[in-house]
Structure 1
Amino acid sequence: MVLEAPLRQLTNELILLNELVPLQAQRIVELGCGNARLSRGLLQQYPQCHVTGLEVDRIQHAANLANPAERLEFVEAGAQAIPAPDASFDLAIMLKSLHHVPLDLMEQALAEVERVIRPGGYWYVSEPVYEGDLNELMRVFNDEGTVRAAAQALLDRAAANGHWERVDDVYFDVPVAYRDFADFERRMVNVTYADRRFDEATRTRLLAIFERHMTADGARFVRPMHVTLLRRR
């Protein structure tokens, strides 16, 4: 019997991005940038790069504008309507954001990414895998099975449509820890980009599942991730 080796664990995805994509003097667009933590770190390490961060959450976008950085431009827009000329970028990054594109706009988002990435440029998409204890917890109030499958299906179609070359698929784990249930609610439930209100019965069920993972050091999980890297033909 051959045992599978455990997946690599990463707390900073910039390490993997740096291994897969040349980052010197790149024109980069991050689609669904959130607080742009990765892009900020990237620009510190690669000062010749320039990043345009797109975000549809107006609250997060306002917070980004209030925290500017050199060579980092913020735009309120989604992947389905990228306000940039054709072939503007060398690299598009999507971190846990493709499955947030509305289902009826995913094909439009694909067409937009194809339009703004230059020939030879890259599309780096990192998506959560639909499995694991943390996923089972999130499913209680936010089941993303359908949208995550749609996101991966879109990438598979892109790799087969003649406009992209599939360069790599990489799987890894991200360790995730919460001090307590209040910390989990603050970070995963009370988010600005989605309305995740639910009734007390759902909260009671969620708390019971969460408590099974509590230790003296808090609750610890592993989030499995899948990176798909495509190159524009």
Structure 2
Amino acid sequence: MILKKDNIELTCLEIDIVEQRLDLDGKYILELGCGRGDFTRRIAGQGNDRRLVATEVDEQQHTINIINNKLPNVRFELAGAQAIPANDETFDRVLMFKSLHHVPVGVIQAALLEIKRVLKPGGLLYISEPLFQGDFNEVLRLFHDEERVRAAAFNAITATVRAGNFTLQEQLFFRSSVFMPTFSMFEQSIIDVTHTDHQITAGMMKAVKVAFEKAVAVNGGVFTTDNRVDLLRK
């Protein structure tokens, strides 16, 4: 398995990859680490006969998700990937959108085995993870360097396939972008999240702002992230 790819050939919305490759209609779907539930709502709000369980470990965000949930086919649960509140062979699809590297390194393999447990035979596990490259990453790494945990996530995927827990159906790379022209937007979306206490000093905040504004001067506020998708079958 490839850890890094320098030439990204596909630029697209990730939701398009999911819809094209996963055949979600009529499926019982588990999303692990749903965050604000953006993907949850998109997936649940289109197609036919889709049922979703979306988990999150951040208690504040989980409470917000429950309060804001207006979709009858979605249930939010407070849980981590290493302890999924479901019976064996429950789900047809399991989705992880840039959340595997947030699982504590010491329990990543346990989480993958837990996913195997709750997946039906022949079920699909979709994992997307950001590569440690790109202009957005260059700003983020100044106060939140994820190189080690991202590498651990990729290594865990490789290990679980080699162990025979899953087979690799497809691996692809794509580039996504986000329009973030002001530092206040960056603060609100990235720095002020409730699931991580960044503990940024005043000096560090100044350095991050300078780096952010330099990037905006070059890219016009359109930041890119390079990603890898591993589609695994149980």
Q: TM-score of the superposition, structure 2-length normalised?
A: 0.93
1:109, 1:149 → 2: CA distance? 16
2:132, 2:121 → 1: CA distance? 32
1:75, 1:192 → 2: CA distance? 17
Distance 1:5 1:113, change over 3 A: closer
2:94 pairs with 92, 95, 98, which one? 92
Aligned residue number for residue 19 of structure 2: 18
- Unaligned runs of 5+ residues in structure 1 are none
2:208 pairs with 203, 206, 209, which one? 206
Q: Report if the CA contact (8 A) 1:177-1:220 is conserved.
A: yes
Aligned residue number for residue 191 of structure 1: 193
2:43, 2:135 → 1: CA distance? 30
Aligned residue number for residue 125 of structure 2: 123
Q: CA deviation at 1:126?
A: 0.6
Residue identity in the other structure for 2:88 = D
Number of matched residues? 228
Q: Report if the CA contact (8 A) 2:82-2:114 is conserved.
A: yes
Distance 1:19 1:200, change over 3 A: same
Aligned residues with identical type, % of pairs: 35
Q: How large is the RMSD of aligned CA atoms in angstroms? A: 1.6
Q: Helix, strand or coil: the match of 1:214?
A: helix
Q: Helix, strand or coil: the match of 2:226?
A: strand
2:113, 2:42 → 1: CA distance? 28
1:156 pairs with 155, 158, 167, which one? 158
Q: CA deviation at 1:120?
A: 0.2
2:10, 2:218 → 1: CA distance? 25
Q: Report if the CA contact (8 A) 2:134-2:224 is conserved.
A: yes
Deviations 1:131-159 (A, max 9, x none): 11111111100000000000011111111
Q: Helix, strand or coil: the match of 2:10?
A: coil
- Unaligned runs of 5+ residues in structure 2 are 1-5
2:219, 2:121 → 1: CA distance? 49
